Structure formats: structure tokens, C-alpha cells
Structure 1
Amino acid sequence: MTLRQREVSTLILLALLGGGLLVAVQQLAAPRIEQQHQAAAERRLLDLLPAGSYDNHPLNQPIALPVGGLLGNPTAEHAYQARLNGQLSAVLLPVTARGYVGPIKLLVAISADGRLLSSKVLQQQETPGLGDKLERQRSPWLQGFDGKSLSDDAASWTLRSEAGEVDQIAGATVTSRAAADALQRALRFFDQQRDYLLKAQQP
């Protein structure tokens, strides 16, 4: 074998070793990367729950939900249980409203006794500066429904423009009405499907 051939052979061997090492590193890192993706997804979805209110990994045990119906979701979605010391602290439900511009997807946290704990917008296309004030970082409007339940007076769910007690987002009456209705529908779905949502995923 000539010097040139030996050099080429050495380069090929090094390339093969480098490729193999890269594959091995990727395989070793894959579980950690997946864990990081899972943690990021949990933070994005579960930041509407108070810190320390759950100690499980809700996304690991999704509960299948029907398309359409009270929740109005156009595609298959999942509910999730948040638990603390084995006890249910919240059920998270996605619900879709029909906004002024397009669909508004909300995530709603409901306590075991059927109270609305909190809610957040996952997706929306509403008018910038008006309907997009549903976003928690833009306005506290949505938080005004925290703590409400189906047993509350109807006026506490109704906009002032419709003789109720809720101040609508200025310039976004349709968006405000759609969001309030979606929150109520989520509570009604929880009330109707309580046994399934609370017991289906218990350990």
C-alpha cells in the first residue's frame, strides 16, 4: 500500500469513526432532548396553574375528548389531570370559541368541585389592539372569570352591554361574548362528564 493509499484509508476510517461517534452522541442525547421538549410543553400549557399546585406530569396521561360538542374543538383534543399528593387539583380542558375574526382556542383549568380556576388563550386571530386583549400578557380581562362556577348568577357571566355585570373588552364585544360563552361551555362539559374526567386516569 502506498503512502497516498494509507492516507486515504486513514481519512476514511476517521470519517467513519466520527460519524459513528455522532450517531452515538445523538442516541444518548435523544432522551434528554425529549425530556426538555416535554418540560417546555408542560410549562406552556400548565403555567395557568399556581406553582406547587401539582406534582405529577399531566401530559403523560392524556384523556381523549370528542370533536365538537360543548367544547367546540374542530379536531381531536385531550384533557389533562393535575394532581398533588395523589389528589386531583385541576382538570385542564381545551375549548374553542368563535371569535370576531376566527376561532379562539382556550385552555381552562377546573377544580374538582367545578369552579373555574384559571384560563388562557392558546391560539387566536382577533384584531390587534382590541380582541387580542384576551391574552393574559395584554390584559387581565380573562382573569375576571376566575373562581366562577355554573351556580353563579347568570348576570356574572353576561356583558354589561347585555344587562349583565361583565365589562367587555373595549371595541371587542363579539370576542368578549365568545370567550365568556366558551368558559361556560367548558364548565358544562366538565359537569356532564365529571365521572369520566375525574376517574378515567386515576392510578
Structure 2
Amino acid sequence: MTTKEIIKITVNLLVIYVAGGVLLASIYAYTSPIIFKESEKEKKEALQKMIPEADKIEKLGDWHPHEKHAEYFAAKKDGQVLGYIVQVFGKGYSSYINILFAVNKELIVQKVDILSQAETPGLGDEITAPSFTGQFVGKDTEHLKVKKEETKEYVQSITGATISSRAVTEDGIKNGIIFLDKALKGGSSPSNNGEKQEGEKPHGSR
């Protein structure tokens, strides 16, 4: 192969590379605003479902449980606060569990939604089941404790998935309410730095 042929091939590859880059950039520039708008729409719908009677969901601020970005909101109707919605992350068995929950003005849990998780199929992923998330309704921080035995007062652990259950209950929702309480009182806004709960086993063990 001659030097001239090598240069020709190199130039052709460079042109293709540049053209491909320009095309990808154009596609991104076109689709990015659409994706952002769709994401904001889904977010708004998810928040509205937490407290459906609210006519306004107002963002109060940001916080960083486990150094992940999360937000918290006030739900209002006719200018009056109905309750609060908090996003939080709990450290599960094999993933950080993204949780959205709503509380009333007394900080009693009203609804829980697991936004995303990657826990063990058939075990930890049962945290998304209504039979588990429904246990939180009506509970305050004193009763957000996981119990392995059958219980109505506290939260019954999913069999074989204690870490996942605690991640949602104690590391997630309970810590989220504690944070919200301090934030509403104007105190320091602590961010969960991933310290282990008492009795929690390390990742990789149940």
C-alpha cells in the first residue's frame, strides 16, 4: 500500500468520524429537550399520585442520602399544606433503593412508592409488592422498625430479605422523616452518609 493510499484511507476515516460525531450531536440536541420534558412530566405525575388531592406540589429543597441527589416537597391545596413528599435512597442488599414517600403534617406515613431497585429477584424485589409497602401507612418513626415475626405495630420483614426490608424501612423512610423534621424546624440538614443501622449485616449477607 502506497503512502498516497494510506493518506486517502485516513482522510476518509476522519471524514466519517467527524460526520458521525456531528450527526450524534445533532440527534442529542434534538432529543435532549424532549427527554427532559418527558422526564419532568413523569416526575410531576409521580408526585401528584403521592397526594392526589393537592393542587400544588412545591419543591422545598435538595438533600443527599448516601451522597445521592434527592428532593423533598410540600403538597398544598388552596395555599394550605396537606403534607410532604420526600425522595430518599436506602442501601439494600445489591442496590441503592430509590424511594418516594408521603407524610401528613404530623409526619405520619401516607403512601410509599419504590421508584427503582435492583434487589434479588424473588426475594428482595418483593419490597415493591403492595403487601409490603402497604404496611407503612399510618406509621411514625417510632414504629418504622423491621421485625422478623408477624406484626401489625411495626413492619414485618420479607422472608429471606431482611436487608432489603431494613433499607426501605429504617435506612430509607425513617431517616427521610428524621431529615424532613429537622429541615422543617430550620435545623441542620444532615445527609445520610451510609452508616450502618444497628444490627445490619454487610452487603453480600442476609
| TM-score, reference length from structure 2 | 0.63
Q: Are 1:147 and 2:138 an aligned pair?
A: yes
Highest CA radius of gyration, 1 or 2? 1
The residue that corresponds to 1:41 in the other structure is 43
The residue that corresponds to 2:158 in the other structure is 169
Aligned 8 A contact 1:126 1:132 in 2: yes
The residue that corresponds to 1:112 in the other structure is 105
Q: Give matches, 1:35-114, under 5 Å.
A: 38-49=40-51, 51=52, 53-56=53-56, 58=57, 61-67=58-64, 72-114=65-107
Residues 46-85 of structure 1, C-alpha deviations (whole Å, 9 max, x = no match): 3232x3x2011x2xx4332232xxxx24233221111111
The residue that corresponds to 1:188 in the other structure is 178
SS of residue matched to 1:47: helix
The residue that corresponds to 1:159 in the other structure is 147
How far apart, in 2, do the equivalents of 1:77 and 1:165 lie? 26
How far apart, in 1, do the equivalents of 2:126 and 2:90 lie? 15
How far apart, in 2, do the equivalents of 1:175 and 1:96 lie? 12
How far apart, in 1, do the equivalents of 2:70 and 2:39 lie? 19
- Letter of the aligned partner of 2:69 in structure 1? A
Between the two proteins, the alignment pairs up a number of residues equal to: 153
C-alpha RMSD over aligned residues: 2.9
SS of residue matched to 1:187: helix
How far apart, in 2, do the equivalents of 1:189 and 1:75 lie? 14
| Shift, 1:37, TM fit | 5.9
| Shift, 1:193, TM fit | 1.4
| Shift, 1:124, TM fit | 0.6
How far apart, in 2, do the equivalents of 1:66 and 1:37 lie? 20
SS of residue matched to 2:163: helix
Larger mean CA deviation between 105-114 and 187-196 belongs to 187-196
- Letter of the aligned partner of 1:77 in structure 2? A
Aligned 8 A contact 2:60 2:73 in 1: yes
Mark the CA change 1:80 to 1:166 in structure 2 (over 3 Å): closer, same or farther: closer
Aligned 8 A contact 2:99 2:114 in 1: yes
